[in-house]
Amino acid sequence: KAGVTQTPRYLIKTRGQQVTLSCSPISGHRSVSWYQQTPGQGLQFLFEYFSETQRNKGNFPGRFSGRQFSNSRSEMNVSTLELGDSALYLCASSLTSAWETQYFGPGTRLLVL
């Protein structure tokens, strides 16, 4: 099976802009979770989607949002970018629940200037 894929792999934006990241889960996986990784805060949970519904959410401001499509692909959007949003954004998929083993994508590295 193909693994989790994320696009784009690298992105440079300026403050105030918005960005959309995409994640395609492993075929058959219906749960998609997003994480932010920074040197200072480490890996932090953003949110989880299942059947096109957000099922769980971390402690991030409302500028961070996401959605999931009927084919389980997911997108994450960050509006009004801040310098502190520079990070590696990881997507992970699992069969039906974030409680199961999660399979991670390679990540999208976002740099905000």
Partner 1 sequence: AQRVTQPEKLLSVFKGAPVELKCNYSYSGSPELFWYVQYSRQRLQLLLRHISRESIKGFTADLNKGETSFHLKKPFAQEEDSAMYYCAPNDYKLSFGAGTTVTVRA
Distance CA 34, CA 60 (A): 12
Distance CA 28, CA 53 (A): 17
Please, which residue, 16 or 61, has the CB nearer to partner 1?
61
Please, which residue, 45 or 65, has the CB nearer to partner 1?
45
Helices (H), the chain: none
For residue 19, state whether it binds partner 1 (rule: CB under 8 A).
no
For residue 20, state whether it binds partner 1 (rule: CB under 8 A).
no
For residue 109, state whether it binds partner 1 (rule: CB under 8 A).
no
CA–CA–CA angle 68, 91, 100 (5° rounding):
90
47, 111 in Cβ contact below 8 A? no
For residue 45, state whether it binds partner 1 (rule: CB under 8 A).
yes
56, 47 in Cβ contact below 8 A? yes
Among 102, 108, 110, 112, binds partner 1 (CB under 8 A): 102
Among 98, 108, 110, 112, binds partner 1 (CB under 8 A): 98
Contacts to partner 1 from residues 55-94, by CB under 8 A: 55-56, 58, 90, 92
6, 106 in Cβ contact below 8 A? yes
Binding site for partner 1 (CB under 8 A): 3, 33, 35, 42-45, 48, 55-56, 58, 90, 92, 97-99, 101-107
